[in-house]
Amino acid sequence: MKILQLKITLKDVKPPVWRRVLVKDDITFYKLHKIIQYTMGWFEVHLYEFRLGNMIIGEKSDEFDIFSMGKIKSARRVKLNSMNFVPKDKFRYVYDFGDDWIHDIVVEKVLEPEEGIKYPICIGGKRCCPPEDVGGPWGYMNFLEAIRDPKHPEHESMLEWVGGSFDPEEFSVEEVNEGLKFIK
C-alpha cells in the first residue's frame, strides 16, 4: 500500500478553493468521492463521476447513463491503485451534474505510509466551498456579489437561504479532519 498526496482544486472559482489530502491507494473511487465530499464541504446529495482520460468511474444512474452509453465503471469496485498513479498524473471529479462542479485532481506525491498516521488526512486547503445548489461557478459568483452588497436586491434572501452568514475565506484543516475520522 502507498499513500497518494492529492491536490483537489475546484475549477472556475476565483479565488481558488482547494484541498490537499493524503489517501491510501488501496481505497475505491467511491471512498475517494466520500473523502472529497468531507474535505470540500459538500453534502453528498448529488451524482458524481471521475474522469480519467476516456474512462468514467461513478455510480450507475438510469437518468444519466444515456449520455455515457453504459461505459461507467463502478466507483465501488475500482481501486485507486489499479490506475498506477505517479506524480503529476491528473484526473477530474465532477459533482452535481446540474451545477457541474468540476474539480481538478493532481497526484502530487506517492509516499510510504507513516506509522501512527490515520488516513485519510487533510494537510492543507484554502477557502470555503460554495453552498450546495447555488447554481455552479457562475451562480456562486452572483451569490457572493449579493451577500457582499447590503443594497443588492437579493442580499437578504441569499443570506437567509445560506443560514444567516457565509464567509468565503473560512477553512479549517482541523474541522475537515474531524469529519474524515468518520470515513470507514
Q: What is the largest CA-CA distance in the chain?
A: 55
**Plot region of 132 (φ>0 → left; ψ -120 to 50 → alpha; else → beta):** beta
Contact 20, 7 (CB under 8 A): yes
Query: What pLDDT tens digit does each residue of the chain (184 aa) get?
Result: 999 999 999 999 999 999 999 999 999 999 999 999 999 999 999 999 999 999 999 987 666 555 555 589 999 999 999 999 999 999 999 999 999 999 999 999 999 999 999 999 999 999 999 999 999 999 999 999 999 999 999 999 999 999 999 999 999 999 999 999 988 7
Domain identity same for 100 and 44: yes
- Domain of 78: which CATH number? 3.10.290.30
Residue-number span of the structural domain to which 150 is assigned: 129-168
Domain identity same for 34 and 56: yes
Q: What pTM value is reported for the model? A: 0.94
The Cα-based distances of 5 to 25, 100, 113, 114, 123 in angstroms read: 10, 25, 11, 13, 9
Domain identity same for 42 and 82: yes
Domains identified in the chain, total number: 2
Domain identity same for 77 and 133: no
